[in-house]
């Protein structure tokens, strides 16, 4: 009987309709669509409502529901001009709500049916209590939620438009970047193309160690903060003076941070203390922040620490002591997500033993560190990675180290570039903002690669002042005229350098420098 009801609804919403247009009535009919027996993703639709058109955003059907047992999703279906594609939009931090909703609004204006998910729980983005001794929730957050939300989005789109999606894409940054790599590694047949920015790898070169290293090194033996965060602009200015010209142009963007050696000892106060210099204790904090996580004997636990150019983003670690945002976030990760037996609410960053606890961490459900992408490549998938070189939250070097290992695993640079490319973005902070190229149309580049076979030898980058948006969650209706400068972004390890003539704000005056 349920199967007959499903067929009836399909006929109702699809009768005499093209795959390019739908009606408000079809939207309402989705509320009765029975997907309880959808293979691998038993689904309940809880609401289907028409969202009227507003400036910049066309009318669309917004569908809410969940996949058993508790993966919430929100799907936006354009009423007109569906392009035949489904996009899954990633979220950030620990998700816990429809954090990809605005990204789906942007995608819907471009004709994509777009779904986002709460990743299997409802909570604030920096709250980990939902995972306390809750294996199912950790499985959903780790990998399952993205997969099942995509499965149900494809099924509902097919019912709504009476035509199966031709292509499926993923786009996300931070946790969304982790979702991207997890999809390629664990569910290689879900997506034709994937965009992943600043991926949180967790194991193998990645967080959570970096989430709380910056706060750990900023406490003295009495538990009081050492570094005065008001000095960060002074530190950033000093770094810029030394590192800015490494790409042959002084433009307020550090494009070659790994090639710049900055010694904070040069800022040490000669006598007393001042807002324009660093105490020896503050110098030590800065050195440790650049170095990255180590044991008490100095053994390196990650490829590096913060890179020059990221200093203005350190306030989340160095401001307000134990009230710093990353101290609290790091504590939540440690309490509920990092160990086989959750230590619970009494555990915090200051309890972490840097000599013993890294080996105790059990993060296999969350890891995105598998470098073997063979099945994804064999399935014809295309992968675009990007990472801001001034990212203070997820170290840029974690992504380059992963990409280098994946390149080696997949047979070398040529074999890797056939299906996967990494685009370093100078001056970009964590997913958005920063002094450099903080926006690029990654989705357009992916479309051209997947559907037209045109591999992106470069992607045009732009600087926009709206720091609330970025490559994985773009501004609606972006126009290059909205930017203050443009610059080509070349695949890693190559980079763009000023050719020495013309307006530096114009991308045509930059050349590609190949790195062997």
At 446-468, the pLDDT tens digits run: 999 999 999 999 999 999 997 78
Domain boundaries, the chain: 1-163, 210-360
DSSP string, 65-102: EEETTTEEEEEEEESB---SEEEEE---TT--S-TTHH
- CA Rg value for the chain: 24
Q: From CA 485, how far away is CA 446, in angstroms rounded?
A: 23
Residue 6, pLDDT score:
40
Residues facing residue 470 across a β-bridge = 473
What does the DSSP 8-state code read for residue 192?
Answer: S
At 43-64, the pLDDT tens digits run: 999 999 999 998 888 899 999 9
Q: From CA 315, how far away is CA 463, in angstroms rounded?
A: 23
Query: Contact at 8 Å (CB) between 117 and 91?
Result: yes
User: Which residues, in sequence order, are CB contacts of 19 under 8 Å at separation 6+?
Assistant: 82, 84, 161, 162, 163
Residue 85, pLDDT score:
98
Residue 9, pLDDT score:
40
Query: Contact at 8 Å (CB) between 61 and 69?
Result: no
pLDDT in single tens digits along all 516 residues of the chain:
334 344 334 443 443 333 457 888 999 999 999 999 999 999 999 999 999 998 888 899 999 999 999 999 999 999 999 999 999 999 999 999 998 898 999 999 999 999 999 999 999 999 999 999 999 999 999 999 999 999 999 999 999 999 999 999 999 999 999 999 999 999 999 999 999 999 999 987 777 898 899 999 999 999 999 999 999 999 999 999 999 987 789 999 999 999 998 999 999 998 878 889 999 999 999 999 999 999 999 999 998 899 999 999 999 999 988 999 999 999 999 999 999 999 999 999 999 999 999 999 999 999 999 999 999 999 999 999 999 999 999 999 999 999 999 999 999 999 999 999 999 999 999 999 999 999 999 999 999 999 999 999 999 999 999 778 999 999 998 999 999 999 999 999 999 999 999 999 999 999 999 998
Residues facing residue 76 across a β-bridge = 62, 114
* Preceding amide of 69 cis, omega within 30: yes
**The model's pTM:** 0.94
Token pair, residue 281, equals: 């204790």
């Amino acid at each position: 009987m349920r199967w007959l009801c499903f067929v009836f609804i399909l006929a109702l919403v699809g009768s005499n309709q093209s795959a390019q247009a739908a009606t408000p009535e079809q939207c309402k009919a989705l509320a009765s669509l029975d997907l309880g027996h959808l293979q691998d993703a038993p689904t309940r639709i809880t609401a289907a409502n028409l969202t009227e058109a507003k400036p910049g955003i066309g009318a669309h059907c917004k569908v809410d529901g969940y996949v058993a047992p508790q993966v919430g999703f929100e799907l936006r279906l354009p009423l007109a001009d569906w392009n035949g594609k489904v996009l899954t939009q990633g979220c950030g931090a620990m998700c816990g709500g429809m954090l990809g909703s605005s990204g789906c609004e942007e995608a819907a204006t471009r004709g994509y049916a777009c779904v986002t998910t709460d990743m299997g729980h409802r909570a604030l983005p920096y709250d980990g209590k939902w995972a306390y001794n809750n294996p199912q929730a950790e499985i959903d957050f780790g990998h399952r939620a993205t997969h099942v939300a995509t499965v149900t989005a494809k099924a509902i789109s097919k019912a709504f438009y009476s035509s199966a999606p031709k292509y499926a894409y993923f786009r996300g940054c931070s946790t969304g970047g982790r979702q991207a790599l997890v999809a390629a590694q664990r569910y290689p047949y879900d997506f034709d193309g994937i965009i992943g920015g600043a991926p949180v790898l967790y194991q193998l070169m990645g967080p959570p160690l970096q989430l709380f290293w910056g706060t750990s090194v900023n406490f003295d033996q009495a538990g009081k903060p050492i570094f005065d965060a008001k000095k960060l602009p002074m530190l950033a200015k000093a770094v810029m003076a030394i590192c800015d010209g490494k790409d042959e142009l002084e433009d307020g963007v550090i494009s070659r941070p790994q090639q710049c050696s900055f010694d904070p000892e040069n800022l040490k106060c000669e006598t007393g203390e001042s807002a324009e210099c660093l105490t020896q204790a503050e110098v030590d904090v800065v050195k440790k922040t650049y170095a990255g996580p180590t044991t008490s004997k100095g053994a390196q636990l990650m490829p590096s620490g913060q890179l020059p150019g990221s200093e203005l983003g350190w306030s989340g670690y160095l401001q307000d002591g134990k009230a710093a945002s990353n101290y609290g976030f790091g504590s939540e990760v440690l309490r509920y997500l990092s160990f086989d037996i959750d230590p619970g609410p009494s555990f915090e960053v200051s309890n972490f033993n840097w000599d013993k606890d890294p080996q105790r961490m059990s993060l296999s459900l969350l890891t995105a560190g598998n470098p073997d992408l063979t099945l994804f490549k064999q399935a014809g998938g295309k992968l675009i990675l990007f990472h801001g070189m001034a990212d203070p939250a997820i170290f840029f070097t974690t992504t380059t180290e992963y990409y280098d290992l994946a390149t080696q695993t997949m047979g070398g640079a040529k074999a890797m570039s056939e299906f996967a490319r990494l685009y370093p973005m100078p001056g970009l902070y964590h997913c958005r903002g920063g002094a450099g190229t903080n926006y690029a149309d990654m989705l357009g580049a992916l479309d051209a690669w997947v559907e037209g076979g045109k591999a992106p030898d470069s992607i045009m980058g732009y600087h926009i002042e709206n720091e609330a948006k970025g490559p994985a969650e773009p501004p609606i209706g972006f126009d290059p005229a909205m930017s203050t400068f443009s610059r080509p972004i070349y695949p890693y390890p190559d980079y763009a350098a000023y050719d020495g003539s013309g307006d530096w704000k114009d991308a045509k005056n930059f050349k590609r420098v190949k790195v062997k």
